[in-house]
Structures are given as structure tokens and as C-alpha cells.
Structure 1
Amino acid sequence: MTLDDLRAFVAVCEAGNLSAVARDLSRSQPAVSQHVKRLERETGLVLLERRPRGVSPTRAGEILYRAAADGLAGIDAALRQLDELRRGVGGTVRIVTGATTVRHFMAEGIAAFREQHPEASLQFVTANSTRRCLAAVRAHEADLAWVTIGSDQEGVEQRPSYTLPWVLAVRTDDPLAHREKITLNDLATIRHIELPEHSTSRLRLESHLDQRSVRLTSTMSAADWDTALLLAELGLGHAILPALPGWQDDIVKLIPIPDLPPLSTGWAARRWTALTPLATDFATTIQTHLHKPQLPSPQPQGPR
């Protein structure tokens, strides 16, 4: 049993196709099959079974796949560290997230991390949904992902770092702008700017509203939270979104919606113990530099 055997087997399990793996590895299909057969001889068990459109791991194959994938992640991380030591560079951290997250959650932390580790390399991979972020981590395309916590945890470890209350973004000249909070009944009257389709935040919002039988009237949609805020600033509608840390604007007011359960966000990794010390330090630095959302404080009631 060699590392090449395990790498080929993991690749086949994830692709579900021997030919595709052979192309990716620049090898022949029989050569890839030999890696799997060698593992089957050593374990004495059938690890893959044929399907109409490829192959899938058997029960024994699933056990070996999970162990091999986790082990290879740690070995790959160690090999990267060794290569960086050999080349005399500061190390690399690969992060998958969206542009909105970098701007509102990470900007100050990234600057602080750069001061602490001037030789380190940061590689940002853009993904516009939690699902795609998690897929990138599972595929070893990133060390860390910033995600909405709680969804699709298979094959990753998630650590909550931040809680985001829901708010309604309105122009300061909007009739709702004088409100200190928004009720769910109020939402039935707004011109709703929809969040990105299939995004975790939109799915969570729609689920909560469906449970309370609240129906929204939507006239447009936005590709991300920042775009939703811009459309609200232009007076083109109202945006229901999580309150972004460090966000301030004289034209748009963020009004709390206390009846909606807040979103929990944070880090995801394949396995925390397999992260490099540099990646762990990056996650910690970002978290220590997060700011609370700037929400309006309730105004004291005058004498009646």
C-alpha cells in the first residue's frame, strides 16, 4: 500500500469514474485500476463496485476512503510546509470565501496578519455560497473557508466565530426609517430585494418566513449582500440581510428584525488538527479583529 495507491483510490471515490481520474493524473485507466486492485489485495475486500455510470465505494471502500482522505490532507499540509522550509518562504494559507466576506469580516484582520507574517502568502479563492466554499475545502483547494455554520457538515469541521442579527436595510428617507425595530408583519409590505439564489442566508430566511406564513413581494434580486445594500441605497427596494460588521452609511439605515433567529458564521476546515500553524494563526487573527455590527440603539421614551 503506497501513497500513490491511496491518492488514486481517493480520487476515484470522489470522481466516481476511473477514466476521469486517469485523465487528471495523466495515466492510463488500467494503471489507475491497478492502484485500486493492489489495495483490494492487501485488505482482502472489494473496495469499489460498478455502476451504470462509473463506480462507487463499497461499505469497506467508504471506510478506507474517509481514513485515506483525512490522512492525505495532513500529509499534503506537511509536504507543503516542508517545501516552504526548503525554499525559505514564509508559508501559504489558502482561503475560500466571497468578496463581501473579505471586505466586511476580514479586512482589518488581514492587515494585522500581514504585519505579523510579512513573508506569508495568502491565496483567496472566490465562491459565492457556503456550499461551494465547503466543496473547495473538501477538494483540498483551500485550507479554510468562511461559511454559514450548520449546513452540510459532512467531511468538514466547523467552528462558530460570529453571530449576525437580521436587519432591514432602508433609505433614511423611507417611511420605515423611523422605526426602532421591524416586525415580521411589517415585512409583508416591503419591496423585497432577494438575496442570491441557493445561498444559505436566503434559504434560512425563506425557511423562517415560511414557518411564520410571511410572504414577501420581490421585484429584484442581488448577487451578494453588498449589491443588495447598494440597491436599497438607490431607493429601489428593501433588503433583508445579516448585519455586516464595520458597515456604516449615512444614506441607508439598518433596522433590527428581532423575530428572525440570527445567523451563525465562522470557519470550516477539513480537520483542524491538520491545519498548519500559519493557517490556524490566520483564523485566530481574523476572529480577534472582528467588529460588532453597527445597529441603531433604542431611543429613550420621553414623558407621556
Structure 2
Amino acid sequence: MRITFDDLRVFVAVCDTGNLSAVARELSCTQPAVSQHVKRLERATGVRLLERHSDGVTATAEGLVLYAAATEGIAGLDLALHRLREFARGEAGSVRVHTGATTIRHFMAEAIVEFRRRFPRARLEFRTTVSSRQSFDALAEGAVDLAWVTIGAPVPGIELRPIVELPWVLAVRDDDPLAGRLAVTAADLAELEHIRLPEHAASRRHLDAALARLGVEAASETGVTDWNTAVLLAGLGAGHAIVPALPYDSGAAADSRVRYLALPFVPPLAVGWAVRRWDALTPLARAFADAVERRHRGTPE
């Protein structure tokens, strides 16, 4: 008996919801029709795929095997269909990018101008995220094409490409005792009042791990959601911020009072692209990813 993608899509939906009626409502069909898809799969595989309960259904051990394979296959098919639609429309498609709150300003501004000039009919859709984990989940679900993330340990099912390595600097107010120093040591960092990103931020975890290896335990009572705000607060005298070396300038008067001290003993922060599969990117998504990389590597169009 032949298994169809409709059978697999319905089966995945049933496993996700645990309710045949809910799937039927979502698909605007009857519950017996949903059951028929599952029964067809059970006849084709020769095993029972679902456990029926009074309050719904759950996948059997055999069903979980099929669910994992079907989810992967459907995601790949959806990605292929999306790519084919992009080919059919030529250059009038869209690129969906997951980014942090300040990513566009610091890493993508010039590339966006270049991309819009080359592909005036294309759309760039930016979705703000607060953690790399959210980006990886969105990629796995096929909700976005590209994600700009802190590069760390390998992630199953995700391909990572480092683009930039950012050295760390200490941002202090110009009247801070450290502001006139020619160099800062690791021991100095232990005495500071740190302004830090949330614990779920990958760059925060990277920095915490680097400081721990140096024997530095950073005390902090001030938390912010992005590097720019950390620098602004440092300029206001609210603490000290260890941030990647970037052109911070919000136009606020406090910015002019910030001094940046190099921290060469802290390993740099690698940032770059995360994708589900590079060879499955749409031509437009690949073009935008390449534009960002060229701008940071200083290579011509």
C-alpha cells in the first residue's frame, strides 16, 4: 500500500495535538477521514502507531519512530516547495531573518542597502529574537531562512557559519578610576559592578565561561537586554559593561563620556549565520547571507 504525504501530514498533526477531532477541525474534514489516514499508515507499516485513550491519543514507540522521520521529511519538502516557489517568482520572493535587537544596526545595515539595490522586488522580513535557542527552533520549524547567532557548540540539524570574531572591551565612564589606565587585568574585572545581559543570551554565557576560566566571578545588580543599553548605562555611571567592540552611538550625551578599554585576555566572541541547510537555501536567502559576509570580509560584490 502506498503512503502519501497527506497521510504523513495528518499523522504528524495528530501526534502534535493528541486529538483526532482537533485535527479534523483544523483540516475542515471529518474525524473518520483523519482516522483513515492513520489506518492507512498502520496497514502499510504493519504496526500500531497510536494508543487510543478516553481523552485522546498518543504515539506508540513505533509511532514515535515514524513521527520523527515524517517531521524531518515534511520540513524538507516544505523547504523544497518554498525554494521552487522562489524560482518560479524569479527575484520577487522573500528572505526571513531571525536577529537580535541590535543585529541589523551593527552587522547588516550596508548589506541591506546592497541587497535592496540588487533585488528591488524582494522582501526582507526581520524577526527579533532574545536567544539563539529561539533561532534554532525557528530554523528547524522552517519559520525562517537565516538566523544571526552567537557561534558556540554544534547544534544538531543546524549548520553554523562564523562570519565575525569580536574582541571584548570594558566600557566605563570617563571619570571612572579605570578610565585613564593603559591596560586592564583580569583581577580588575572582579572588583567591578557589572552590567550584564540576561542568562539566556548566548553572548552572556560565552563571557561568563571566559571569565570563569580566568577565575573572575562577576558581581552584578544591573541587567539589560542588549549591548547598546549596557554601554548607555555605563556612560551614565550605573556600572561597568563588558561588551563586544562595536561602534556604539545612540546619540545620547552619555555616549560621549564612555571610554573603551581593551580586554585581550578574554577570548573573542564569534557571531555569524545559522541555517538548516546551506544547500537548501533559496537563491535570495543565499544572496543576502553572502552580502552580509562580503561586507564583513571586505570583498567586492
TM alignment of 1:1-304, pairs within 5 A = 1-11=3-13, 15=16, 17-18=18-19, 25=27, 31-47=33-49, 55=58, 58=61, 61-62=64-65, 64-83=66-85, 90-151=92-153, 153-244=155-246, 246-247=247-248, 250-290=256-296
Does the CA-based 8 Å contact 1:70-1:270 persist in structure 2? no
Q: 1:25 Cα shift?
A: 4.8
Q: Secondary structure at the match of 1:125?
A: strand
Does the CA-based 8 Å contact 2:75-2:141 persist in structure 1? no
Matching residue's letter, 1:275? L
- Could you tell me which residue of structure 1 aligns to residue 252 of structure 2? none
TM-score by length of 1: 0.81
Q: Relative to structure 2, which stretch is displaced further, 49-58 or 122-131?
A: 49-58
* Aligned CA distance change for structure 1 residues 46 and 76 (closer, same or farther; 3 Å): same
Does the CA-based 8 Å contact 2:47-2:62 persist in structure 1? no
* Aligned CA distance change for structure 1 residues 88 and 155 (closer, same or farther; 3 Å): closer
Q: Relative to structure 2, which stretch is displaced further, 37-46 or 132-141?
A: 37-46
* Aligned CA distance change for structure 1 residues 158 and 235 (closer, same or farther; 3 Å): same
Tell me, in whole angstroms, the C-alpha distance in 2 between the residues paired with 1:214 and 1:54: 51
TM-score by length of 2: 0.82
Q: Secondary structure at the match of 1:161?
A: strand
Does the CA-based 8 Å contact 1:156-1:269 persist in structure 2? yes
Tell me, in whole angstroms, the C-alpha distance in 1 between the residues paired with 2:179 and 2:213: 26
Matching residue's letter, 2:178? L
Structure 2: state its 5+ residue gaps: 250-254
Count of residue pairs brought into register by the alignment: 289
- Could you tell me which residue of structure 2 aligns to residue 297 of structure 1? none
Q: 1:150 Cα shift?
A: 2.4
* Aligned CA distance change for structure 1 residues 31 and 144 (closer, same or farther; 3 Å): farther
Tell me, in whole angstroms, the C-alpha distance in 1 between the residues paired with 2:35 and 2:262: 58
* Aligned CA distance change for structure 1 residues 270 and 190 (closer, same or farther; 3 Å): same
Identity %: 53
